Amino acid sequence: MKKIAVFTSGGDAPGMNACIRAVVRGAIYHGIEVYGIRRGYNGMISGDIFEMTSQSVSNIVQRGGTVLKSARSKEFMTPEGRKKAYENLMSNGIEGLVAIGGNGTFTGAEVFYNEYQIPTVGCPGTIDNDLYGTDYTIGFDTAVNTSLEAIDKIRDTADSHDRIFFIEVMGRDSGYIAIQSGIGGGAEIVMVPETHTPLKKVVSTLKEGWTRSKSSSIVVVAEGDEEGHAAEIAEKIKEQVGDKLDIRVTTLGHIQRGGSPTAYDRILASRMGLAAVEGLMKGHKNVMAGIVNNDLLYTPFIDTIKKQKPIHDDLLRMVHILSI
């Protein structure tokens, strides 16, 4: 393999730039020409492809976001769009791809290979940590620390005013950010999509704390919880308790995606980026480079897409025990 290309797709995640850097410098180290594709599959279709050098990735390891930009491509979902993408890759002599992204990114790569046999190795770049085949995804650690910093600050004002705060964090299908930032932030309740937390249990926990003269409480809610968003849940709780409890809501939103990546995310992303390059060299295709128990593994895209990554029961149990 003499020429490869790297792109980022879907939601951005802190550490993507560290991963891009590792791909570019890893490829150059092994004597492979490396190209960048801007704006993911959209750039592949429009031909926004350019050669990268070691200098192209200087001074980016500490930056959030992605220097290659990112996008979600509706056109790539069509046969016509994928045909354009293939023609542009061929005109540049590209023989393999490194895709940095999540479920949607890998689904697109799987379809693309079935049609045009372009091998892809993926790097899991998503703050949700919801991909099977790796203990942690690029950006997750930074997102948890960002959420935790916000929770700590909200705890200060909650305590000053004897308030209950419902704090919504990202996680449409996964409660990993919620559970880890909730435990780290001392939350009384954590609500996640993986397990149902009845509203009556939330009410009883909050009331019990109040009767024990607990001056404030924090409820962390993953955006995908089946009871709804934090604002909806808070409104339902207010209907049940009336004015007895002073309830406020904070939605952290896209702040969790930004910022300089933590040391852990930089190292994780660098390890995965180099593994993707070396995976292509070894003939791997349609796999994601992941780290499980500190060992590098390659997991087929079909497994990362279809298999669920559950939250460990010990974490849920820990929230319950430590909230008393």
Find the length of the chain. 324
What angle, rounded to 10 degrees, do the helices at 199-211 and 230-241 form?
Answer: 60
Which one-letter amino acid corresponds to residue 254? H
| Cα(32)–Cα(7) distance, integer angstroms | 16
DSSP state of 77: G
What is the token pair recorded at 164?
A: 């209950």
Q: Reply yes or no on whether 162 is catalytic.
A: no
Distance, CA of 189 to chain centre? 23
What is the token pair recorded at 317?
A: 């149990």
The β-bridge partners of 219 are 166, 189
Angular region, 167: left φ>0, alpha ψ -120 to 50, beta rest: beta
Helix (H, G, I), strand (E, B) or coil at 246: coil
The β-bridge partners of 138 are 125
Closest C-alpha among 314, 12, 14 to residue 179: 314
In angstroms, the Cα distances linking 292 to 50, 130, 276 are 33, 14, 15
| Helix, strand, coil content of the chain in percent (nearest 5) | 45, 20, 35
Per annotation, catalytic residue among 12, 48, 128, 130: 128
| Cα(302)–Cα(97) distance, integer angstroms | 17
| Cα(57)–Cα(65) distance, integer angstroms | 14
Integer-rounded Cα radius of gyration of the chain: 22
| Cα(8)–Cα(69) distance, integer angstroms | 7
Catalytic annotation, residues? 128
